[in-house]
Amino acid sequence: MERRGLLPFVVTAFFAVVISLFAFSLMDSKDDAPKTQTIPDGQSKSNDSDITNQVKNNIKGNKAKVNNSIDNNLNNDEDSRIDNNVTNDIEVNVDVNVSNTIKNKADKNQDSGQTGNGNENENSGIEDSSGDKGAKNDQGGKSEDDEVVWGVDSASLTTSDLLSCVQENFGSPKVWGRYLGDKEGVSAGITPQEAEFLQSNDIKLLVIWNRFNEATGIENGQSEAKAAIQLAQDLGIPEGVAIFADIEPNYPVDSSFIEGWYQAMEESPYHPGIYGIFDKEQALTKSFSQAAAKDSSLLENTFIWTAAPNAGITEQEQAPGYKPEAPANSLIAGWQYGIDAKACNIDTNLFNKDILDVLW
C-alpha cells in the first residue's frame, strides 16, 4: 500500500523535470533565431553582368573582305561591364575591305562600364596603299564620307569670282591648295589678303612649293626646303603647317633630294610634305621608297599628296570613293583625283580629315 502511494509522486516529479528542461531549451533557442538585415532602397544589387567579346581575324591571300558585327543589349542591370576587342591581322596583296560594327546598349544601369570597344586592324605586304596613314586601316567602321573632305587647288589668285565659280559649279571646298611665291608662267603666289579671304569662308590652305624644276641632290633638296621655310615665315604662316614640294612627273628626281627636303623641314617649325604622281611605276615613287628605306622616320613623318590615279574632274557630290595610290605605309594626306577643270581654273581633291590639323 505505501509503495503504491509513492508511485504517483514519482511520475509527477519525472514529468515536472522533463517540462522544465524543455522550457529552458526554448529560452536558449531565442539567441539562435534568424537575423534579418534590411538594405535601404537604392543600395540593393540585382544580378551583375559581365560581357567579354573578342574577335581576331588572321587572313592571308590576294583579296580580303572582313565584316565583324557585335551587338550587346543589357536591360535593368545595376552593375554591368562590357569588354569588346576586335583585331584584324590581314596580309594581302591587292584589295582590302574591313568593316567593324560594335553596338552597346545598357539601359537603367546605375553602375555600368564599357571598355575595350576597340578595333585594331593591321595590313601588311601591300604594294600600294589606300586610306588613312597608308596601309593602316583604322576607320573603326566609319564610312569614307566621315573620313575625307573635298577640296581644290589652283594656280590662280583666289578672288571672290573664282570662289563663286567653284561653289556654283562644283561644291563647297574645305581645303584650297595654293603656292608659295610666283612661278612665272605657271602659278601666282598666295598673298596674306587671299589667305584671310579663304579662311573667312571656312577654308583651310594647303601650302605648296614649286619654285624648282629639278628634284635631284641632297643639297638641292635642303636648299629648296630652306627657301620655302623662309617665304612661309615671311607670310606669317604659323608653325606646325605642312609644306608640300611639288615634284612634277617630268622633273628628274632622286632619293637624295627627298632626303634633303625632309631633313631641312624636320629641323624647321614646319612639316615635310611631297606632292606628285605616286603611281608605282613613277620615278618619284621609287625614289621616295629608296629614301624611306634609309630612314624610316621619313616614311612616317612625310605627308604624301598623290595625284594617282587620275579619275577626272567631278562635282563634290560625284567625287569617287577615296582610293589614293601611294607608297606602302606612307602618311597619305590627300588625293588629287581630277585636274584642269574647264569651268574654273582648279583641280579637284579628296583629303583625309586629319590633314586639317597641318593646314593653314
Last residue of one domain, picked from the residues 93, 126, 159: 126
* pLDDT, position 53: 64
* Whether residues 105 and 170 fall in one domain: no
Binning the chain into helix, strand and coil, the percentages to the nearest 5 are 30, 35, 35
* Whether residues 258 and 111 fall in one domain: no
As for how many domains the chain has, the answer is: 2
Amino acid (one-letter) located at 312: G
Residue 137 lies in a domain: no
Q: What is the pTM of this model?
A: 0.63
Question: How far is 143 from 322, CA to CA, in rounded Å?
Answer: 10
Q: What is the pLDDT of residues 279-305, one digit of tens each?
A: 999 999 999 999 999 999 999 999 999
Boundaries of domain holding 196: 148-358
Task: With a cut of 70, list the residues of the chain below it in pLDDT.
Answer: 1-146
User: Edge-to-edge strands of the sheet including 79-107?
Assistant: 49-75, 79-107, 111-124
* pLDDT, position 267: 97
* Whether residues 107 and 154 fall in one domain: no
Burial pattern 53-76, b for ≥16 Cβ within 10 A else e, equals bebebebeeeebebebebebebee
* Whether residues 337 and 226 fall in one domain: yes
* Whether residues 174 and 309 fall in one domain: yes
